[in-house]
Structure formats: C-alpha cells, structure tokens
Amino acid sequence: MENLRYSEILQQNSAMKEKVIGAPYKVKVLANVTINSLKEILEYIFRINQINPVIEFGNYDNIVQDSRMSAHSDIVIVFVEMLNIVSSVSVFFEDINDGMYNDIKSRMCAEIDNVLENLKDCPSVIFNTFSSTPFVTGSSRKSKITIFTSELNKYLDDKKCPNVTLLDIDIIISQLGIRQAIDYRLFNSSKAPYTLSFFKNYVSALEPIILRNTGKLKKAIIFDCDNTLWKGIVGEDGFNGIDMSATSHDGRPFNMVQQIALFLSRRGVIVGLCSKNNEADVTDILLNHPDIVLKEEFIVIKKINWENKALNLRSISTELNIGLDSIVFVDDSSFEINYIREHLQEIVSIQVPTTIFEYPDYLLRHVYKYFNLTPNDEDSHKTALYKQQFQRENDRKKFETIDEYLASLKMVITIYKDDPSFIQRIAQLTQKTNQFNLTTKRYTESQILKFMEDGDCHVFAVSVKDEFGDNGLTAVAIITADKYNRMNISIDTFLMSCRIIGRNIEYAFIDYIMKWLKKESYQHIYSEYISTKKNSQVISFYDDLGFILLRDEENEKHYSINILDYEMKNIEYLKLEAITNGKNAK
Amino acid sequence: MDNIKEQIMKVMSTVFEVPSEKITENSSPDIIESWDSLKHLNLILALEEEFDITIPDEEVGNMHNFKLIELIINECKK
C-alpha cells in the first residue's frame, strides 16, 4: 500500500465502500494533534481485508475525556504526540527547570493512567509510543526531551493492561526519515505533524493487529523448493550442486529463509512444500543434506510431484482441513505465482525477489503481517500434533466402522471451567477457528478474562488426549446467563478446532455442559447459529441435538430447548477424565 | 483543457467526494460543502503528492479557489 498514491487510495476506498458490508467494526481515534488524513487510509486497509469499518475521531486534544466514551469501540487508537506537549509548554524544553519537568511528567503520567483506566474494557487499544525523534538533538548528547520521552515510554510499558498494544512510532519514522515523516510546516499552521507517507506506513504497521483482532491470520506457509528453499535446481545441479550454506555468498539468504520457516514451525504455523520435482530427490535433501535447516521432521505436508500447483494447494487445504485463505505460498517462478493468483485468489502468493539478498527481509515482512507470533505452549508442539493427525488418518483405514476406530483411539477428554491459565489459548481459538464455530465471535484475552470473572458467565474449555498424543486445548464454549431471569441461559460461543473434528467430541462436550446446567437448575437453554462463508458444516448442529428452531433469519438461526427435553448422546468411548474448576479453585 | 487543470480537478473531486462535473473554475469552499479546514489539509497533501511539489507555507492558506490553486501549482512547478 505504501506504493499507492493518496488519490488512488481515496478512489479505491470509495469504490469499496458499497461492496464491503457486514457487521461494522468500530474504530475510535484519539489524538492531541490533527490526523484526520488518516481516516480514508485506515478505511482502505480495513476494506481490502473485507472488514467494514466505522471510524470516528475524538475531538482535537481531548484524549482523556473522549476515552471515557470510547470503551464500546472494537479498537481504540491513541496518538499522544510529543510535539504538541512540548509546544504547549511555551518555554524551550531543554531549558525548563526540574520542578517544571516533574510537573509535566506527573501530568502526563496521570493522563496515561486515566486513559488506560477508561479503556480497560475495550477489547483492543493501540497506544503509540512517545517519540523524541522529530526534535533535532544531535546524536552524541542526550537531550532533556529524549530522557523525558524514554521515561514516559517506560511508564506506559509498566502500566499497560493486556488489551493494550504499543506501536513504536520511531520505527515508522526511521523507515522514512524524519523529513519524509514529519511536516513541520503543517504542524506549525494546523497542528498536523504527519505526512501522507507516515500515515501509509503507520497503517501498514497496524494491519497485522487488525488481522489478528478479526480472526484473519494465516495458518500455513507452503514453499516451493528449487531457488526458493535453496539455490539451484536439484534435478539439474544434483544433491551436491545446490547451495543453502550459511557461509556461502549464494546460499546464505536461502539458509536464512529456512531459519525463518523453522521459526514459524516452532510457533505453530504449518510449514509445507509444494514443488515440481521427484519426491525422492527432495526427501533425500531434507533428510541428508549437510546444510539443511528445515529438516523433514518440521514439514507437515509435502506435495512433490508434476501436477499443477493449484491442484496441489487445493488438496493441501483439504487434507489440513483449513481454508485456502489461511495459506501463504512462496515460489520463485513468476509463472507459478501468477497461475496461483489467477486460480486461487484466496491464497496469498509471495514471489521470491530477483535481488536474492533482499529475500529474507521481504519474507519476514509478510510473516510479521500474516502470522500470530506470540508463542504459547500449545503452538510450540503443533507440528508434532499435525503429524500425529496424519498417523490417525492412516490408522483409520484399518477399521471397519468409524466407531470402532474412534474407540480404538482411547480418547480422554478433560474439561476446564473458568480456568484463567488458558486465557491466551482460548482467545486464540475464538480468533482462529472458522469451520466448526457456531457463532464465530472473536474475543481478545481481556474479554475472555471478563467472561470468567463474571458470575453469570462461564467459559468451558476441552483438551483431548488419545493413543497418539495430546491434542491440547481444542474446544471452547461460552455461556451467559440471563441477568433478569436466572432460569435462562444462552450459548454465546461453541467452537472446536478442525484438528479434532469427526470424533464426536462435540457431543461429549455438549452433554457435559447440559448436565452441568441441569445441576445448576437452569431451565431454558438458548443458542444460535450465525452463518459465515466457512461454517456451513455446523448449520444443523442444534437441529440434530433436538433444539427447537425459534427464528430463521437470513444469516442467523435462533434456537431454544427445555433442559428436560435434551437427550444425552452418551458417547461411550469418550472418557471424561477430570474436571478442573478455575473459579472454585481460587 | 490542459493537463494540469484536469489533474487538479480530478484530485479535488476525489478529496471532496463530489462528481468531477461539479468541479469548475469557480469552485470554492462556499460552493463545495465538504471543503472544510480538515479536507483542505487533505487537498494540500494530495496535490503535493500528485505534482511532486512542496507548496510554500504562506500559500497553503491561500489556495481557496480553483484559480488560485492552479496559479500556485504552476508557480511551484517552475
């Protein structure tokens, strides 16, 4: 987007206005400077990601007061610009005495506290870091403004709640250079310090956060092999002719790319290969090449054959049970890249740059944008999990009936209720699960915590173990009681990771919840199905369970059932091992 | 109509979100409703990017009708 002119962004943005509809995503921008040119650029980035934004700006330099009325937004973006703080002092900042320095600092800290407090219920807050870069101070001495700024940043970092993301403004300014990023002229006349280039880069930096908040992150990265993972063509140059050495001129960038792939694999991203080659040649390299970093064990899926790549990528999507729009594809050939862009538009295709020395950085920029890189324990062994999955798939063929097979897995499920130690994983599941997801409501960690702390709401999570290993936490249900009628309760969220679909775990889980609700004397259970492009497989989930359809609207089906009418599914071969109750345990 | 004129009109129509036929040589904030002080900043930034120029500080506030805009841009491009 940085390459588009502002007028092009405006045109494309207004052209998309009519097309991108759907639930509005509420954005509030609070600032102590004039940044209204940001509006259309920000709208543009939402719309190209198929999100319908409603963007509102707070009043100029009214951040604290406006933040009180902004907690209902889906995301709040806060710009506190040092240029304006300093200009409001009306004394040369370097010359102020300690008393004044401390006065300004304590005023700023109080403002930070106030804003964070007012926004503590907002699912996502972006706070820009304070920057002294626009103040020319020379590089060999620390100016007062530099010290002041770093103290404020430290304070902000210490005080921020989990719903706050700090966005480092200095990185954006340094990518552009001060003169390209700051417009001193318009700051002086209109308190508008930023250039269009700054806004474009700023919005690009914001994009991964938006994708994460709206559940649009990718799940898999699929690499071609020749001239993508190593220099050379194995079929022509041979095992010894290809280069991926960390110490050679030609091999070094490829070695780094493999390290990036390995890094992704360790964070739970599915790494796969799709290459026109003889499979034996490639496998030999993955197992035996002295310089290979991305070894066989880290690769979840391989399509090494002479079929066309659209076919192969499609079958990767089916076998992994993930959508095409969850896949990133990397290839050096412009033919293959264009073919995929034409045939499978949902896939993000990245072409290896011809200037190979730029390849690792170029790949990394996409990686930061499309993948969730905060590691959790679950992610770090996901590659092993996906491999177990294939083991199970292969075993399935040996059994006559599916029940016989499922029984042989000796599955044990553990249900956790309101257990705060799983907040991160639960939020991640709500953000990433698309297929087996009845309502597709996306929640942040702070929202999950709020459900757990609220006595009228409960968060259930399921982990599944079997013969082949531990699948980890893979299903979530959130229920919310009617505050005015204690007999009524609604199922707000019911979802399951695709990795355990087809094992009747959903029935054991709903049985458990129903038993629990009965015990707690709830009578009427309400539920809904909200249709999306991806969740059609659960369209009749509640019908099959015997829920009564109350209303069938265009994209929503509303149900209820009297708890006494619910017939337990009693899946015999699913063993319920333990129930841990977080709220009572406290 | 010469090229610069056309280009200015196109930018104005995009920034103010009005159909291009509504932009004339007489266009000013009195006639175009959406031309407020904030949109004026967007217009300045868009014109600078479009023509690859920097409009001098003292002219930014003067560009309040089509003819002045055209005059100043031609001045900057020299």
What is the domain-level CATH number for residue A249? 3.40.50.1000
CB-based contact (8 Å) between B74 and chain A?
no
A584 pLDDT more than 50? no
CB-based contact (8 Å) between B53 and chain A?
no
Same domain, residue pair A407 and A526: yes
Q: How many CB atoms lie within 10 A of CB A327?
A: 27
pLDDT of residue A387: 67
Name chain B contacts of A14, Cβ cutoff 8 Å: 14, 17
DSSP A283-323: HHHHHH-TT-SS-GGG--EEEESSS-HHHHHHHHHHHHT--
A382 pLDDT more than 70? no
Shortest distance between the Cα of B7 and any Cα of chain A, in A, equals 11
Same domain, residue pair A193 and A277: no
CB-based contact (8 Å) between B46 and chain A?
yes
pLDDT of residue A585: 39
**Beta partners for A475?**
A462, A496
Same domain, residue pair A35 and A134: yes
**CB hemisphere CA count around A426 (13 angstroms):** 28
Q: Cα A536 from chain centroid?
A: 22
Q: Are A209 and A76 in contact (CB under 8 A)?
A: no
Out of B17, B41, B50, the one facing A14 most closely (by C-beta) is B17
Residues in chain A: 586
Name chain A contacts of B61, Cβ cutoff 8 Å: 189
Whether B46 sits inside 8 A of A7 (CB atoms) is yes
Name chain B contacts of A185, Cβ cutoff 8 Å: 57, 60
pLDDT of residue A396: 63
Distance CA A264, CA A261 (A): 5
Burial of A512 (0-12, 13-18, 19+ CB in 10 A): buried
Shortest distance between the Cα of B46 and any Cα of chain A, in A, equals 6
Domain ranges of chain B: 3-77
Taking a contact as any Cβ pair under 8 Å apart, which residues of chain A between 179 and 218 contact chain B?
185-186, 188-190, 192, 195-196
What does DSSP say about strands A52-57 and A556-562: parallel, antiparallel, or unpaired? unpaired
Name chain B contacts of A186, Cβ cutoff 8 Å: 41, 44, 60
pLDDT of residue A533: 83
Name chain B contacts of A7, Cβ cutoff 8 Å: 10-11, 14-15, 46, 49-50
Out of B14, B44, B57, the one facing A7 most closely (by C-beta) is B14
pLDDT digits (tens, 9 = 90+) for A198-245: 999 999 999 999 998 888 889 999 999 999 999 999 988 999 999 999
Same domain, residue pair A339 and A442: no
Q: Are A41 and A12 in contact (CB under 8 A)?
A: no
Total number of domains constituting chain A: 3
- Tell me which residue range forms the domain holding A356: 220-370
Name chain B contacts of A11, Cβ cutoff 8 Å: 14
Q: Provide the sign of the torsion angle of the four alpha carbons A444, A447, A449, A451, taken in this order.
A: negative
More confident residue, A350 or A85: A350
Name chain A contacts of B50, Cβ cutoff 8 Å: 5-7
How far CA A144 is from CA of A85, A122, A150, A193, in Å, comes to: 14, 34, 10, 21
Q: Are A433 and A217 in contact (CB under 8 A)?
A: no
Tell which CATH architecture fits domain B3-77: Orthogonal Bundle (1.10)
Distance CA A119, CA A70 (A): 7
Same domain, residue pair A451 and A341: no
Comparing alpha-carbon positions, the chain B residue that sits nearest to A38 is: B42
Secondary structure class of A458 (helix, strand, coil): strand
CATH assignment of the domain containing A437: 3.40.630.30
pLDDT of residue A375: 57
B12 pLDDT more than 90? yes
The answer for residues whose C-beta is within 8 angstroms of residue B21's C-beta and 6 or more apart is none
A384 pLDDT more than 80? no
**Which H/E stretch holds residue A380?**
helix A377-380
Q: How confident is the model at residue A377 (pLDDT cuts 50, 70, 90)?
A: low
Whether B14 sits inside 8 A of A5 (CB atoms) is no
The interface pTM score, or ipTM, of the predicted complex is 0.89
pLDDT digits (tens, 9 = 90+) for A387-433: 677 667 666 656 667 777 788 778 889 999 999 989 999 998 998 88
pLDDT of residue A434: 86
Q: How confident is the model at residue A381 (pLDDT cuts 50, 70, 90)?
A: low
**What average pLDDT does range A166-193 have in this prediction?**
93
Whether A192 sits inside 8 A of B11 (CB atoms) is no
Looking at A343, A370, A397, which one is the last position of a domain?
A370
Distance CA A157, CA A162 (A): 11
pLDDT of residue A398: 62
Name chain A contacts of B17, Cβ cutoff 8 Å: 14
**What average pLDDT does range A138-148 have in this prediction?**
84
A586 pLDDT more than 50? no
Same domain, residue pair A441 and A323: no
More confident residue, A516 or A380: A516
| Residue at A1 is within a domain | no
Q: Give the angle subtended at the CA of A308 by the CAs of A305 and A310, to the nearest 5°.
A: 120
Strands (E), A432-574: 436-437, 457-466, 469-481, 488-496, 524-530, 548-552, 556-562
Assigned token pair, A317: 């999507």
Whether A14 sits inside 8 A of B10 (CB atoms) is no
Same domain, residue pair A336 and A414: no
Taking a contact as any Cβ pair under 8 Å apart, which residues of chain A between 16 and 45 contact chain B?
34, 36-37, 40
Looking at A341, A370, A399, which one is the last position of a domain?
A370
**What average pLDDT does range A544-560 have in this prediction?**
92
CB-based contact (8 Å) between A59 and chain B?
no
Q: Are A231 and A258 in contact (CB under 8 A)?
A: no
Over chain A, what is the mean pLDDT?
A: 89
Same domain, residue pair A461 and A571: yes
Same domain, residue pair A53 and A194: yes
Out of B17, B49, B61, the one facing A5 most closely (by C-beta) is B49
Comparing alpha-carbon positions, the chain A residue that sits nearest to B40 is: A37
DSSP state of A130: P
Same domain, residue pair A200 and A333: no
Comparing alpha-carbon positions, the chain A residue that sits nearest to B55 is: A185
Q: What dihedral do alpha carbons A84, A85, A87, A93 form, nearest 10°?
A: -140
Shortest distance between the Cα of A37 and any Cα of chain B, in A, equals 6
Whether B15 sits inside 8 A of A7 (CB atoms) is yes
Out of A7, A36, A186, the one facing B50 most closely (by C-beta) is A7
pLDDT of residue A78: 96
Whether A10 sits inside 8 A of B15 (CB atoms) is yes
**What average pLDDT does range A259-273 have in this prediction?**
93
Assigned token pair, A97: 């005495």
Comparing alpha-carbon positions, the chain B residue that sits nearest to A189 is: B57
Out of B10, B42, B57, the one facing A189 most closely (by C-beta) is B57
Same domain, residue pair A383 and A531: yes
Distance CA A135, CA A319 (A): 55
Q: Give the angle subtended at the CA of A281 by the CAs of A233 and A246, to the nearest 5°.
A: 55
- Nearest alpha-carbon partner for A478 in A430, A425, A421: A430
- Nearest alpha-carbon partner for A272 in A331, A323, A221: A221
Looking at A335, A370, A405, which one is the last position of a domain?
A370
pLDDT digits (tens, 9 = 90+) for B30-62: 889 899 989 999 999 999 999 999 999 999 988
Size of the A and B interface in Cβ pairs below 8 Å: 45
pLDDT of residue A379: 59
Q: Which amino acid is at A221?
A: I
